[in-house]
Chains A and B, each alone.
Chain A
Amino acid sequence: MFNVHSAPLESKTAINTALKLTCLATILMSSTGTIQAASTLSIESWRSDDANIWSDVIIPAFNKSHPDTKVNFAPTPPTEYNSALQAKLKAGSAGDLITCRPFDTALDLYKDGYLANLNDLEGLKQFSDVAKSAWVTDDGKDQFCMPVASVIHGFVYNKEIFKELNLSVPKTRAEFFKTLDTIKSESRYTPLAMGTADQWEAATMGFQNIGPNYWEGEQGRKALLSGAAKLTDKAYVDTWTELAQWKPYLGRGFEAQKYSDSQNLFTLGRAAIYPAGSWDIQTFNNQADFEFGAFPPPVAKAGDTCYISDHTDMGIGINANATNKEAAKVFLNWMASKEFATLYANEVPGFFPLSDHQIDIKDPVAQEFMSWRQQCESTIRNSYQILSRGTPNLESQLWNVSAQVINGTMTPEQAAKETQDGLEQWYKPQQ
């Protein structure tokens, strides 16, 4: 009972001391937080699949010639990359090197002052204007990312199943559907491994894969940009019509089939043909124990010019607020070298270097994809340049309508009308 009176006094001094200590601690912490190691570079990327290749092969190769710079590859999963990067840049905690998505996503980062101007970068001379076009301002004056790699669309097929059913690689659309019919009626294999649960495959591996043959590649893409062509034109409706015809050849319950399910169906040898992006080659090399090959999207009739989607997918730029800009530039110049191009193309098969160096690719399937650059006309995905700037967003709409067309809940005409209406709401040349 006697202690009761003295207790408040004691606790009061205790509180004072505690308060002083906390203040001191806060001051100390805030003053030490800004110090960073001198020559460490950190790379922001969405290629978490490549993390091992960067840390085991590419960075050691760089360190052979540049031993003083420590490079750290710090990937974020692809679906979260854009938003995570934006948040990190705003908070000032992003890495020195930023892997750039093509066109507007990176352009907006540059406009907001998050990416450094690269006009005087020596390494840029190794790239063609077409390769650089995805990371240049609308007036063509300022370059803010250096091209790294492109991805090519096509179809990957299981060679063993083709042999077993005595099939040859289809060149025309008629042959393509005949092949699918044969697989469906004469075997238990799923003819086409694709699902619509994640929606993007329908647009990217479906619409943008087979579409260039309908809208004649760059010509059609530019016409859409200038307003000379509309999404309700025959070329686009026909593309969706073909997609709708894929439905009977997809696996059972494809509406709930995810991207990884499709990959697994193919690598387990349960599906014959896989509408692919060249980046899938790596996964298939690791997981499939059968031989597989690739063919470009079939054309209308034999001898027609073929068009492929050779999409400038990845660039790399420098964080405008990087602490190590000089080291970052050295690294970028090294990335423009033949050494890097060869290393990257062979270690990450399916990502094709955009620099002008002549390089050898050892992976047979990657080589096949790359060879289409000589046979066919290249184009990029038509929704990426400018057309996805407004609301509603064309790319998101394409995902939604393409998935619905395949699901059979929307007709090709409705898909065309919905996307065209969306474009007309904000894009002047289309109004």
Chain B
Amino acid sequence: MTPSNQHDEKKPFPWHVVFFLGPGLLIYVVFSVYPLLDTLVLSLYNEQQGQSHFVGLQNFITLITDDTWSQAFWNALGNNFQFFAIHMLVQNPIGLLLAVLLSSPKLRLSGTYRTLIFMPTMLSVVIIGFVWQLLLSPIWGISEDFLYSIGLGQYFDAWLGKESSALITLAFISVWQFVGIPMMLIYATLLNIPDDIVDASVVDGANSLQTFWHIKLPLILPTIAMVSILTFVANFNAFELIYAVKGALAGPNFSTDLMGTFFYRTFFGFQLQQGSASMGAAVATLMFLIILVGVMLFLFFIQRRIQRFQF
């Protein structure tokens, strides 16, 4: 049956498009685009005694060159890169390993493992912070006894309180919480690989390691790339765990200060320190730029080279 052309000559305005896109677009513009643009504008102003006036890039110059600000800024940025590096080197490889193990057809109870490993991701960060503080507490914690029982007792320390180990410990807690996400994403991709490709490689005489390296890994690379970019964005926005465990002053001696906590102190103030909306907006803008540059580098240098396979 061919549709008659009579009705189509004067096309009615496609209201349904507006209807379906409208609500989403409206919410996105009001709650995401407008605040973002407003933040960018706000960072160009300076507020003094309730009067705000345009100062151009002065806030950014202060932030990067003035010692009282720049020290805190570079420290937070450095810590943030460390935090990110630990996630990339620990969380994602473990996620990959778990996904491969889970997708093995020989594994029994894989549904149970999957749920258990994913569980922490669904818990509130505040609970995670609280539970881990108790576990690691030198006063009430069980980790000291546990280490003694396996003969490593002398290595126990107040890890969360030492300048040298606090950030790494927090990063590991965060890894523990979020390892379920890369695992799930990679697991889903692994399940999508058609059996005939894997079967063919087995028929050709590949062992399971070879199958993984030459068949499965290339097929899940796009997912690993996506996981990496998600990790990058999430880590440079990280705030809750540090705030829940160490407070906004991110001690000891700012060794756990990330861009998020630095922004919080600047924007909202801290104890006797008054918050500054414009300076805070400048920090937020820099955070946005760092993430933007990171994502763009990724898109130009990695995303374009990745081959995607359609089954």
- Cβ of A331 under 8 Å from chain B: no
CB A84 to nearest CB in B, in angstroms, measures: 9
CB A197 to nearest CB in B, in angstroms, measures: 5
- Cβ of A251 under 8 Å from chain B: yes
If A255-B252, A256-B138, A425-B68 touch, whether A395 touches B161 (CB-CB below 8 Å) is no
- Residue in chain B with minimal CB distance to A381: B272
- State whether B274 touches A108 (Cβ < 8 A): yes
**B93 neighbours in A (Cβ, 8 Å):** none
CB A123 to nearest CB in B, in angstroms, measures: 27
**B269 neighbours in A (Cβ, 8 Å):** 82-83, 86
**B161 neighbours in A (Cβ, 8 Å):** 195-197, 253-257, 407
- Cβ of A364 under 8 Å from chain B: no
A336-373 toward B: CB 8 Å interface, digit per residue (1/0)? 00000000000000000000000000000000000000
- State whether B272 touches A403 (Cβ < 8 A): no
- State whether A396 touches B271 (Cβ < 8 A): yes
- Cβ of A23 under 8 Å from chain B: no
**B254 neighbours in A (Cβ, 8 Å):** 400
8 Å CB contact of B15 from A1, A12, A394, A409 = A12
- Cβ of B163 under 8 Å from chain A: yes
**B205 neighbours in A (Cβ, 8 Å):** none
CB A373 to nearest CB in B, in angstroms, measures: 25
- State whether B139 touches A199 (Cβ < 8 A): no
- Cβ of B251 under 8 Å from chain A: yes
The number of residue pairs between A and B whose CB atoms lie closer than 8 Å in the complex comes to 130
Q: How far is the CA of A261 from the CA of B274 in the complex (A)?
A: 29
- State whether B273 touches A251 (Cβ < 8 A): no
- Cβ of A137 under 8 Å from chain B: no
Which residues of A395-431 have CB atoms within 8 Å of chain B's CB atoms?
Answer: 395-396, 399-400, 403-404, 407, 409-410, 422, 425
- Cβ of A21 under 8 Å from chain B: no
8 Å CB contact of B252 from A79, A105, A394, A403 = A403
Which residues of B250-286 have CB atoms within 8 Å of chain A's CB atoms?
Answer: 251-254, 268-275
Which secondary structure dominates where chain B touches chain A? Answer: loop
**A251 neighbours in B (Cβ, 8 Å):** 138-139
- Cβ of A185 under 8 Å from chain B: no
CB A23 to nearest CB in B, in angstroms, measures: 13
- State whether B249 touches A400 (Cβ < 8 A): yes
Chain B interface: which size bin?
35 or more
- Cβ of A112 under 8 Å from chain B: yes
**A12 neighbours in B (Cβ, 8 Å):** 12, 15
CB A116 to nearest CB in B, in angstroms, measures: 16
- Residue in chain B with minimal CB distance to A392: B68
A8-37 toward B: CB 8 Å interface, digit per residue (1/0)? 100110010000000000000000000000
Which residues of A99-129 have CB atoms within 8 Å of chain B's CB atoms?
Answer: 103-105, 108, 111-113
8 Å CB contact of B16 from A11, A255, A422 = A11
8 Å CB contact of A388 from B7, B252, B272 = B272
Which residues of B121-139 have CB atoms within 8 Å of chain A's CB atoms?
Answer: 133, 136-139
- Cβ of A333 under 8 Å from chain B: no
**B110-118, B152-160, B212-220: which lies at the interface:** B152-160
Given A254-B161, A394-B272, A400-B251, 9 further pairs, Cβ under 8 A:
A83-B268, A111-B49, A196-B161, A197-B252, A253-B161, A256-B158, A395-B273, A399-B249, A399-B271
Closest 10 CB pairs of A and B: A253-B138, A255-B161, A256-B161, A253-B158, A83-B268, A256-B158, A388-B272, A393-B273, A395-B272, A256-B160
Provide 7 A-B residue pairs closer than 8 Å at the C-beta atoms, listed in order of the A residue: A12-B15, A15-B16, A196-B161, A261-B139, A261-B140, A404-B253, A425-B68
